[in-house]
Amino acid sequence: MSAADFRKLADLFPNETVTHSYVQDITLPGTAGKPSPGTFALVTLDNDLDHTKPTTLGPNTLVELGTVLEGLRDRAARGEIVGVGVTGKPHYLVAGADLSAVKSLEKREHGLWMAQLGHDVYATLANLGVPSFAFINGAALGGGLEIALQSTYRTVSTGAGALALPEGFLGLVPGWGGVYILPRLVGPENAVKVMIENPLSNNRTLSGAQAFRMGIADAVFEPADFLEQSLAWAAEIISGDVVPERPNAVDPSAPDSAARWTAAVDAGRKFVEGKTSNASPAPAKVLELLEANRTMTAAESAALECATLADLMQTDEFRSTVYAFLDLVQKRAKRPAGAPDRKLARPVTKVGVVGAGLMAGQLALLFARQLKVPVVLTDIDQARVDKGVAYVHAEVDKLLAKGRVSQDAANRTKALVTGSVSKEAFADADFVIEAVFEELHIKKQVFAELEGIVAPECVLATNTSSLSVTEMAADLQHPERLVGFHFFNPVAVMPLLEIVRAPRTDDAVLATAFELAKALKKTGVLVKDAAAFVVNRILLRLMGEVTAAFDEGTPADVADNALRPMGLPMSPFTLLAMVGLPVAQHVQESLHTAFGDRFPVSANLKKLIDNNVKALWENSPDGSRAVPASTLELMSFGTTPSTEEQVLRRVQDALAEEIGLMLDEGVVAGPEDIDLCMILGAGWPMFLGGITPYLDRVGAAERINGKRFLAPGVASPADGQPQQ
């Protein structure tokens, strides 16, 4: 395509936040007694905004960068410069493509132009006529890391904390050369780790040190003098005094390369199947490109990358992922709907945790590590208290052994967590949360006792997963200070906090809860006090439908595999076993009491619980699984089995009904909060966009409610139909 086409593309984005390419001429230092190699052109990528606004790559940014690089290529041809370096503003090289821009490309042709523009610009960087260097001073994601990969040499800072090619997670492929260069630089196995395993493992990234060890960077330096060290190293490279070693590099034409490529791609496909059930097209496309390009030239691979990117940009999965990642996790999560003015929040200088079991221990560890304030555990006897404190200390020791905390930090955290058999230890606490057995009368008893001990301004919180916060507060003298603060298990990992406002919870208490969530590095979502709130209500409706189909006579493998097209992180019966049959049944009974037959209570599950059966499936050494005959003998079944397709549609329709009712009840402010809760609290796949775009896409929302949850264009094409 022509420069005019690129200009036309850039003109579509007059409001793009442009990352500018600023050029500075630097005289390189001499090396080993030699004079300076000459003048070096340093390009700094900067959007002229503070460090909270990452640099990104949109069409106008790429056009400017391409123009600058063409000028430098001309200067190199005239002998004016001996090398070119690219670095970024503090904390960033580049944080990847501007997803807002990419999402708005409604025509495939425009997506193809965007892909080709990137390749055109990066090809200039790779062919300047002098060595090019990337000085990775901070985050380098997607197209940002590909800038580095297209350079001749790379240095990285130990302070650079996020290097990744996350496109498979975002519904795309690394489309500006990364999928071609990376396996040749670090080997196909490492390439699969970076492009498949890390993105599909909660979008994991590499640190600067990890990137160096893998071979992505040729040298690693400390942040304090990173640029100076990088320039000195570049001088040594240009002078010939240093030749980087690349032990992980692979020649794709070498005799053993074909077998390595095939094994890596096969391992990647197995990983994708386990993570997504192949419900998202992007990871498969990444592996197809990797497999094909072993025998391709860079130009041939570039053409295939561009065509693949253009196709994927028009998929519902990509649009849903951008909605989930950008609109929800990056934006809505930071501005919770309905949260009071943060200025109303009270300081929290000491925390109390009622209970000393597993959940209480997890909470105590989180509060101590993140807030760095004293935390007191209480329980009914000293043995339980000691066990709870010992659990926290043991978890800190594990973190220390893994190098995730220093010895000083470990010592400080341990010293902050203490225990007591008396709740009088909470007299000077600012926030007390209960983590006792999920029985309403027990929790009410706890809060009644606490009211006579804690200070008037102390916030009381319940970690209940399904019980009524309103009922817990009913007999309190000050019901306005009770709030639901529902964590998900495991506490250290799951980012969601359902913050439950009862009718009399006041704004200061609610504001304190939201500020505390932020301090704990959790995402707080405001929910109304309704049985099981959001996540558990939806999951129990889902599991209830699958279990009911099983009870009606549907074979276990049919019922459990029916939801595979949704690409959920685990099957319903696997989730049931992880939650624990008694816990799931207890919540289901609460929901049945609240909502009736939409949440049936399974007699078969009751029989399994009564007979101490922990899970439906039994895994065999060969990886297969089956329901043991002894388990089947405990249960009785109906005579109306369903097919996988029937179970899937049944679940889709049930979820559409339940979410429609939740929105009618005002459980959350809108469908976006339902999606945010399911993504952060249940691991709902990003490529589904959460749950409501999926139900819109399969037609369940309109079948059941007569309308979509989200307007066309939010997580789908603007006209509701994929563009061609």
494: left (phi over 0), alpha (psi -120 to 50) or beta: beta
Q: For residues 209 and 234, what is the distance between their CA atoms, to the nearest angstrom? A: 19
Catalytic annotation, pick one of 16, 146, 236, 658: 146
State the Cα–Cα distance between residues 238 and 241, nearest whole angstrom. 8
What does the buried/exposed string (b/e) look like for 604-641 if buried means 16 or more CB atoms within 10 Å of the residue's CB? bbeebbeeebebbbeeeeeeebebeeebeeebeeeeeb
The encoded tokens of residue 14 equal 């007059």
Contact indicator for 472, 447 with CB cutoff of 8 Å: yes
CA dist., res. 21 & res. 88, Å (int): 9
Q: Chain-centre distance of CA 5, in angstroms?
A: 35
3-state secondary structure (DSSP) of residue 97: strand
- How is residue 476 written in tokens? 């309190």
Specify the 3-state DSSP secondary structure of 102: helix
The SS3 call for residue 71 is: helix
Q: Which of 16, 64, 167, 317 is catalytic?
A: 167
- Distance, CA of 305 to CA of 175 (rounded, Å): 5
Cα–Cα dist 589/569, whole Å: 25
CA-to-CA distance for 661 and 659, rounded, in angstroms? 5
- How far is residue 589's CA from residue 595's CA, in Å, rounded to a whole number? 10
Q: Identify residue 67 by its one-letter amino acid code.
A: T
Residue 121: which of 79, 62, 76 has the closest Cα? 62
Instruction: With beta carbons less than 8 A apart as the criterion, state whether 173 and 179 touch.
Output: yes
Q: Which residue(s) pair with 460 in the sheet?
A: 432, 482
Does residue 648 contact residue 562 with C-beta atoms inside 8 Å?
yes
User: What is the C-alpha separation between 207 and 484, in angstroms, rounded?
Assistant: 37
Please say if 146 is a catalytic residue: yes
Which residue, 126, 128, 125, 190, is CA-closest to 163?
190
| C-alpha span between 68 and 54 (Å, rounded) | 21
CA 125 to chain centroid: 32
Amino acid at 559: A
- Examine the residue annotation and report whether 167 is marked as an active-site residue of this protein: yes
Q: How far apart are CA 232 and CA 31, in angstroms?
A: 8
Q: What are the beta bridge partners of residue 42?
A: 24, 85
| Distance in angstroms (rounded) separating the CA atoms of residues 149 and 126 | 9
Q: Is the CB of residue 384 less than 8 Å from the CB of residue 391?
A: no
Among residues 96, 153, 157, 163, the alpha carbon closest in space to that of 128 is found at 153
Cβ density class 120-155: b for 16+ within 10 Å, e for less: bbbbbbbebebbbbbbbbbbbbbbbbbbbbbbbbbb
Catalytic residues: 146, 167
